[in-house]
Amino acid sequence: MSTLHINSSAQMLNSNTREIGQYLADALKAPVTHRDLALNPLPAISSEDLIGVQTTSDVERPSLKQHLTLSDELIAELKQADTLIIGAPMYNFGIPVVLKQWIDYIARAGQTFRYTENGPVGLSEVKQAYVVIASGGTPVGSPMDNVSSYLKTVLGFIGVETIHIIDAAGSKGTTDKVISEAKAQIDSIISA
């Protein structure tokens, strides 16, 4: 087994998603590839190149070639993992822009999904994903939580078999309590 651990929190210190995600990566006891999207952001992509990455048209354009190469690298990294950990803090009721950018690079027809006459089929072959969601006060699973449903949809679309949401919402109390309860969620899932 191998794990891909994605961090997207703008907070480098005192980040619930970073601390809980690392706890999870350690608990899984598997080789881990770390990708920190906040510390090492992906390059900005023009609308023209984003469409090109999604359709792989006009591959002679130098800027598109660069983005396709990066997309291929990120997809290979994803497909080598059995388990995916995503640290997803909730910013303004949604995911961080750096995480959305990663999704735009890895969600590619013919690479991580394909369309069939029976609907889309995911091709990532990732067995399970753990999504650690932290928010200042929005309860995870509430109508204002757009992170859980969005990431479940995206991950299911690319073929992740099982998706676990780890609730690290600040609405549950002090930071110590939130982290302790999230670790207990993880321990329960892993022992099951």
Better-predicted residue by pLDDT, 135 or 173: 135
Highest mean pLDDT among 98-102, 141-145, 169-173: 98-102
- Helix crossing, 175-191 with 16-28: angle to 10°? 20
Identify the pLDDT of residue 169.
86
Q: Which two structure tokens, joined as six digits, stand for 164?
A: 């676990």
pLDDT tens figures, 71-112: 999 999 999 999 999 999 999 999 999 999 999 999 999 999
Distance separating the N- and C-terminal Cα atoms of the chain:
17
From residue 100, alpha-carbon distances to 26, 29, 185 in Å are 25, 28, 26
Question: Per-residue confidence at 136, pLDDT binned at 50, 70, 90?
Answer: confident
CA distance 123 to 43: 25
pLDDT at 59 over 80: no
CA distance 74 to 41: 13
pLDDT at 173 over 80: no
CA distance 84 to 143: 25
